[in-house]
């Protein structure tokens, strides 16, 4: 195993959950060393946090500009190689662009940008940069999601003809039904939160998952949102009819007001020969429906799994892996790419996935606003 990769982190300080998730993921496979970054917009807070997590403070910077300037002056073998962008959404684009323009690798939280337009600019930037770029669609890191993808690719369920993806959460409920709260929360202010709440935040994960597992692309969609109140401008819930090729249809269902649901992401893919189903809250089970044979339940770590799946399993069967492991698998893939090692297609979500996501979100909004008409994706 070669030397660890020098990782800079932008955002994710203090009590940030996303900070914990990325930090742990970077540790798990012994590939990264956190070298510096900008944990907080306030420099003092950044320094304080660095001390708390025992990171040397000499490479904690005031802002990204300072980081880039200083790091570029360092010899290449000391320089931060890759930055994780964990800042508020609207900063993803300018930060990613700056990093790519200066030759850094990037791990970017989702959504990659706030508009499809920005996403396409970033895509062009990456082409010039030629570095590694990953968007953390975390759920693609689960061993059984990877197994699903490989089985579909191998033809286990035959030609796909129907897909159904759900992402139901309920946490917006106490906010949306309170007139006071819903007029003040930044999440429901389109100026701050972008053009979509439910579809932009979680629907896009469901979208990503079905493209990831099937290898097919959504060609067009028809969307209906629910805003719940006349004075609310952000979608709290949406259902999207999709077409993924001739006679290949499906639905993406997303909600932030499915009261009591926690993180209910699930996907079901049906083909001519069988079906495959997976649920994020029980991520270690993959259900194979294969009439006329009995239902089968695939679990991580067994030799019947594909290389891509086994590669993301660290312990023997029966030791449940969770969300940290999923994110860690993505960091592992990125590490291999940065080092120029061979890696499997699907090990981490790329710029292309990020671009698709924005294309999807803007299309759903367009479809809904134009009166639930079909809108094609690029």
Subset of 9-28 contacting its own copies (CB under 8 A):
17, 20-21, 23-24, 27-28
Tell me which residues in 39-78 interact with its own copies (CB under 8 A): 51-54
Among positions 247, 307, 340, 342, the unique one binding its own copies when judged by CB under 8 A: 247
**Count of CB atoms situated within 10 Å of the CB of 308:** 21
**303 lies in the site for its own copies, by CB under 8 A:** yes
Q: Is 224 exposed, middle or buried (0-12, 13-18, 19+ CB in 10 A)?
A: middle
- Does residue 228 touch its own copies according to CB under 8 A? yes
| DSSP element (H, E) containing 95 | helix 89-101
Closest CA to 240 of 226, 228, 260, 257: 226
Q: Does 261 engage in binding with its own copies (CB under 8 A)?
A: yes
Task: Check residue 130 for interaction with its own copies (CB under 8 A).
Answer: no
What CA–CA distance (Å, rounded) separates 306 from 335?
21
Residue 376 binds to its own copies (criterion: CB under 8 A):
no
Contact flag: residue 315 with its own copies (CB under 8 A): yes
Among 89, 115, 263, 306, binds its own copies (CB under 8 A): 263
The CA distances from residue 96 to 46, 55, 81, 115, in Å, are 20, 23, 13, 14
Q: Smaller CB distance to its own copies: residue 66 or 295? A: 295
Using the rule CB under 8 A, which residue among 239, 266, 363, 364 binds its own copies? 239
Length in residues, the chain = 378
Q: Which of positions 275-294 make contact with its own copies (CB under 8 A)?
A: 275, 280-284, 288-294
Q: Under the criterion CB under 8 A, does residue 237 sit at the interface with its own copies?
A: yes
What residues numbered 148-177 form the site for its own copies, per CB under 8 A?
A: 157, 161-162, 164, 169-170, 173, 177
Should residue 313 be labelled a site residue for its own copies when binding is judged by CB under 8 A? Answer: no
Strands 237-243 and 220-226: antiparallel
State the Cα angle at 106 between 102 and 110, rounded to 5°: 135
d(CA 227, CA 232): 6
Nearer to its own copies, 73 or 246 (CB): 246
Distance, CA of 29 to CA of 347 (rounded, Å): 14
């Amino acid at each position: 195993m070669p030397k660890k990769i020098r990782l800079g982190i932008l955002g994710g300080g203090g009590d940030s959950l996303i900070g914990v998730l990325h930090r742990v993921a970077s540790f798990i496979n012994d590939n990264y060393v956190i070298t510096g970054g900008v944990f907080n917009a306030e420099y003092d807070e950044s320094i304080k946090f660095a001390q708390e997590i025992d990171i040397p403070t000499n490479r904690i910077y005031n802002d990204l500009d300072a980081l880039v300037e200083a790091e570029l002056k360092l010899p290449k073998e000391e320089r931060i190689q890759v930055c994780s962008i964990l800042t508020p959404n609207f900063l993803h684009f300018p930060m990613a662009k700056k990093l790519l323009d200066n030759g850094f690798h990037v791990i970017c939280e989702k959504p990659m940008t706030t508009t499809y337009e920005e996403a396409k600019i970033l895509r062009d930037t990456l082409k010039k940069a030629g570095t590694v770029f990953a968007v953390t669609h975390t759920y693609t890191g689960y061993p059984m999601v990877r197994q699903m993808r490989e089985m579909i690719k191998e033809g286990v369920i035959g030609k796909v003809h129907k897909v159904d993806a759900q992402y139901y959460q309920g946490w917006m409920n106490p906010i949306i039904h309170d007139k006071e709260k819903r007029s003040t929360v930044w999440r429901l202010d389109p100026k701050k939160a972008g053009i979509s709440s439910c579809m932009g935040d979680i629907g896009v994960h469901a979208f990503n998952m079905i493209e990831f597992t099937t290898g097919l692309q959504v060609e067009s969609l028809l969307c209906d949102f629910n805003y719940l109140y006349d004075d609310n401008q952000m979608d709290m819930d949406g259902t999207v009819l999709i077409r993924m090729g001739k006679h290949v249809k499906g639905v993406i269902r997303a909600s932030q007001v499915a009261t009591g649901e926690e993180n209910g992401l699930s996907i079901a893919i049906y083909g001519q020969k069988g079906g495959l189903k997976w649920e994020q809250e029980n991520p270690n089970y993959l259900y194979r429906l294969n009439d006329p044979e009995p239902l089968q339940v695939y679990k991580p770590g067994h030799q019947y799994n594909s290389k891509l799946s086994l590669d993301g399993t660290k312990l023997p069967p029966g030791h449940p892996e969770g969300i940290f492991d999923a994110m860690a698998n993505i960091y592992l893939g990125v590490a291999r790419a940065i080092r120029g090692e061979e890696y499997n297609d699907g090990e981490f979500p790329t710029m292309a996935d990020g671009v698709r996501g924005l294309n999807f979100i803007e299309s759903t909004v367009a479809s809904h606003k134009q009166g639930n008409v079909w809108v094609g994706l690029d």
